[in-house]
Chain A
Amino acid sequence: MGMPSLPVFGDGNLHIDEPFPDAAHRELGNTQMRANLRHATHTIRDKRLKVVGELPDWEELRDAGAATKNHVMANLPALLEEFEKNFTARGGVIHWARDSHEANKIVAQLIKEQETDEVVKVKSMATQEIGLNEYLEEQGISALETDLAELIVQLGHDKPSHILVPAIHKNRTEVRDIFLAEMPNVDPNLTDEPRLLAMAAREHLRRKFLAAKVAISGANFALADSGTLAVVESEGNGRMCLTLPETLITVMGIEKLLPGKEDLEVFMQLLPRSSTGERMNPYTSLWTGVTEGDGPQNVHLVMLDNGRTAALADKYGRTALNCIRCSACMNVCPVYERTGGHAYGSTYPGPIGAILTPLLTGIKSEENSSLPYASSLCGACYDACPVKINIPEILVHLRGEDVDSKRGKKKLPTQMDLMMKGAGWAFSSGKNLALLEKGLPLGKLAAGRDKKIKRLPGIAAGWTQSRDIPAPPSQSFRDWWKKEHQSPAKTEQEK
């Protein structure tokens, strides 16, 4: 294979149109969305904690999950070959796609061979990433999203804002309004009760499922030693797509492999509890190529790179590929909760998006270089992640890359450099930090009467663009801690 090649980055719905701070500033003005998000993320957090707490071996499962994924990434070529051999032996056909355009072309061609111009789709991040629906539309093929949330987004001419619940930014009343406006033959007296909204979706899609000739899916897992694919879902739209049409086309990133069936015992405990906060999701379908007399007889799989190999080449960032798209990190993220998913501008929002997107596209990709700053580094994402991706560490690594690349361009140390250097100095020793904290009362002067600092200078202005920061306390946390935690005896002495 000769010389090591330079990483080849991905494209598609990964490039944000405006820097994160600008988008976040706009989204923060949407108070309805923020209220919806707050409600939804808090509901799911509580559910997740409850079902995770039921398992005495949750940490052991996380350890196994993380190690399995690291093993997969280190042995990817052999596992891909093994998977292809087994999937093909059972009658499936594999296609490889270097980037989104190649993948889109393959899928469109396969659909055209079936002489149809309408396909049903089960929710898939990979097809969202490559912009498949938009491409198919240009080709005169309509792709019908069948997952309830995807349907809400599609009917509302909107964009997904969450990887598991793409319409999380809409509340029930907004969903009803979309259905009333966009669903043909909908009952005009439809209320906003979620049950009735789900029934309306059932009515709307049922004929389509029963008549579809071609379905498109993603895959949650692929087992190398048997050639098996798995889709995890709730509504039964996945089963409809995977079972009834004659032709099934699956699009999957190359990182989704698992060595074998015993790995499912780990991941099928980690995934449902982390994503919807259920002990198990209602339906999981597994298929291995073609089964005579049961389900699609024309079965295809598109294996997608689109920047994944570039992410793999980053030895500090590659664990981002271990992600199983559970969405736990965004559900616990204080930044996501306030800005929502749209601010991230990419298919992948939230903490995972802040690292995965720039890893797939390259940090030099102008606007995406702002994503690694979309975090307060509080670490909640790392604690929630079922495969223990150290998101804060990768964020810091990518910030460093960004600073390096900008320094390369400007030849002068940037403000970020100086700040990082300053932070490095401050945090390198408790003494330095204490010294710095002595400056805190000065901050009080910078603040106005309302005790808020409205504008910070230079690059730090970004921080005050979307928020006023409360003036720093005249006493630092460390000082306060010291005072509060002195032993009574010592206090006596000091007196």
Chain B
Amino acid sequence: MSAKEEILSRITSALRDAPTPEPVPREYRRTSDMPEAELIELLVDRIEDYKAHVDVVDSAQLAATIAERLKDATSFVVPHGINEDWLVEAAPANDARRRVDAPGAILSIPELDSTDAVLTSSAVSIAESGTIVLDGTPDQGRRAISLVPDHHVCVVPVSTIVRLLPEALPRMDITRPLTWISGPSATSDIELERVEGVHGPRQLDVIVVKGL
């Protein structure tokens, strides 16, 4: 018998009393109804609690805000699908500071390691837990680019914010490589006290954009 056959046969044998559990009750909150202004306020409060910086801006101010957040970076990565309009103030197409990561023209790990920052968009955000989800679509890029540089600037369009996790999951394509981010990297391993900043980006700047 193969290991698989043997394990499955052990399971079948273990279940010979044929347990029939009750159906799963889903009485917890699965939908909500929160006005946009409150949603934004909740998300901002939760993300700031994780010691990340948050700007809330209108779409017209986005390019300037991105430029401000990236002003100290000597170089930064953008995924190939990033909206060019977002970059007009920070670094137009020929600016030496910007490095584009694209399929077929990816940055090596040492190149990413020598890059100060990364700018990405995001797929969906959960206000109640202060969580931002990246799904690897072209304006977010492959996972390595938002991991290796030490400073992540992340754009959150207001239309992608929901209140509850159960409202967020239907918006995720679960087979894509997903990264859920709730604040900068942190550890509670020494005396269970939270310290921000370990292996992931130590600085997380979130820009919440109204009208987007």
Contacts and interface: CB of A to CB of B under 8 A. Distances in A.
A108 interface: no
A191 B165 CA distance: 40
A152 B188 CA distance: 13
Contact of A309 (B14, B131, B136, B142): B14
Given A201-B198, A205-B199, A236-B185, A287 B177 contact: yes
A74 interface: yes
Nearest to B175: A288
Interface in A347-365: none
Contacts of A309: 7, 10-11, 13-14
Interface residues of A, number: 103
A172 interface: yes
Contacts of B148: 210, 244
B3 A197 contact: no
B136 A44 contact: no
Nearest to B131: A280
B103 interface: yes
B13 to A, nearest CB: 4
A175 B190 contact: yes
Size bracket of the B interface: 35 or more
A165 B192 contact: yes
A239 B191 contact: no
Contacts of A234: 185-188, 198
A282 B191 contact: no
Nearest to A171: B191
Interface of A is mostly: helix
Contacts, number: 271
A198 B187 contact: yes
Given A70-B19, A283-B185, A197 B190 contact: yes
Contact of B174 (A57, A97, A226, A305): A226
A8 B89 CA distance: 66
A73 to B, nearest CB: 7
Interface of A: 1-2, 4-5, 7-8, 36, 39-41, 43-44, 47, 56-57, 60-61, 63-64, 67-68, 70-71, 73-74, 76-77, 80-81, 90, 95-98, 102, 146-149, 152, 165, 167-168, 171-172, 175, 194-195, 197-199, 201-202, 205-206, 209-210, 223, 226-228, 234-237, 239-240, 242-244, 254, 261-262, 264-266, 268-269, 272, 276, 278-288, 291, 293-295, 303, 305, 309-310, 312-313, 315, 318
Given A77-B8, A234-B185, 18 more contacts: A5-B10, A8-B10, A40-B191, A68-B24, A77-B15, A168-B192, A198-B195, A226-B175, A235-B186, A237-B198, A276-B192, A278-B182, A280-B126, A282-B186, A282-B200, A293-B103, A294-B142, A310-B14
Interface of B: 2-4, 6-17, 19-30, 46, 49-50, 103, 106, 109-110, 113, 126, 128-131, 136, 142-144, 147-148, 164-166, 168-169, 172, 174-195, 197-201
List 8 tightest A-B contacts by C-beta distance, closest first.
A236-B200, A313-B14, A236-B199, A70-B21, A309-B10, A236-B185, A149-B189, A235-B198
